[in-house]
Amino acid sequence: MKVLVCGGAGYIGSHIVRELTKLNKYEIVVLDNLSTGHTIAVPEGIPVEVGDIRDKQFLEDVFSKHKPTAVFHFSASIEVAQSCVDPLGYYENNVAGTIYLLQAMQKHGAKYFIFSSTAALFGQPERIPIHPDDLSIPVNPYGDTKLAVETMLKWCDQAFGLKYACLRYFNACGADASGDIGEDHTPESHLIPLILQVPLGKREKIFIFGDDYDTEDGSCVRDYVHVTDLATAHILALDYLARENTSNRFNLGSGKGYSVKEIIEAARRVTGHPIPAEIKPRRAGDPATLVASSEKAETVLGWKRQYHSVDDIVRTAWNFHQKHPKGF
């Protein structure tokens, strides 16, 4: 089957590409605008179409040339804080861009769509862990853009039979066991890579955004899922769409949350560095706790996580950063 991985040079996308190549049954094409991705993260021999999903003509060219059957979609802006400052930019990239991508799929008869969604669409959740059909009221533009796409997908299925899987996860983290690829954003805004910048000598301390949340230690609680486990779930979701020919939505998590302070502790254990921390005000748009139940993904997709300990997850990230202290 021919698959197009939009955002395949980025952090999560490149890990999907790596897992897809191991299976030897997919013809893979990567599409990426390289705004945050790195061509070096894509294995040699896999074509990379460089361009933007907001460019309709570019999409037309890519779809005419490659005629993919399935599309994995990771091309999105992903920073909660930035989305609060620039909501329209987020809607343009994440919603308008996805409309153009879906139009190209419709026109060229691509059948399956695997959408990188987020637990952020649940906002302040009504219960923890969050189940896939729980109420979704996002508390920031980023989460709302993902919800908008999920809603659109329902109507696309009804109108022209597009089969889709929405995969909601919160904190993708860690790196491929080889240490060859990992998380490298400029500027970096995610917790684990920022913490690891301290033992790497790139920053003096880590800031904890808020210690007055309604959580056990006052810092925000999140669900940290290893990126290779996420990759496996995406591939199982494609198998599911091809087998069942029905759309579905899954939450991908560990069922267990870790606070910012606990993640810093894990990084101290893994790196052996004291990692000084300082409390700062809350960051805009951050809910106190987000933990996604993955029960449905486990039973329906047969998803099994390989990484269960947060220390093991941080260790893979540390391995990548030690191998690439300056990034890619």
| Active-site residue set | 142
DSSP-derived 3-state class of residue 113: strand
> Given the complex with ligand UDP, which of 70 and 80 has the nearer CB atom?
80
**Residue 111 CB, nearest approach to ligand UDP (Å):** 30
- Site for ligand UDP, rule CB under 6 A: 80, 170-171, 189-191, 194, 206-209, 220, 222, 260, 283, 286
In degrees, rounded to 5, the angle at the alpha carbon of residue 73 between the alpha carbons of residues 68 and 77 is: 145
> Given the complex with ligand UDP, which of 52 and 188 has the nearer CB atom?
188
**Residue 261 CB, nearest approach to ligand UDP (Å):** 9
DSSP-derived 3-state class of residue 14: helix
User: Which segments of 111-226 are extended strands (E)?
Assistant: 112-118, 163-169, 171-173, 206-209, 221-222, 224-226
Which residues, in sequence order, are CB contacts of 275 under 8 Å at separation 6+? 195, 198, 199, 205, 206, 264, 267, 268
C-alpha span between 323 and 149 (Å, rounded): 37
> Given the complex with ligand UDP, which of 48 and 80 has the nearer CB atom?
80
**Residue 296 CB, nearest approach to ligand UDP (Å):** 21
Q: Whose structure tokens read 């993708």?
A: 172
**Residue 1 CB, nearest approach to ligand UDP (Å):** 31
Dihedral of alpha carbons 119, 305, 261, 190, sign: negative
> Given the complex with ligand UDP, which of 130 and 206 has the nearer CB atom?
206
User: Which segments of the chain are extended strands (E)?
Assistant: 2-6, 27-32, 48-50, 70-73, 112-118, 163-169, 171-173, 206-209, 221-222, 224-226, 248-251, 258-259, 277-280
**Residue 142 CB, nearest approach to ligand UDP (Å):** 8
> Given the complex with ligand UDP, which of 172 and 241 has the nearer CB atom?
172
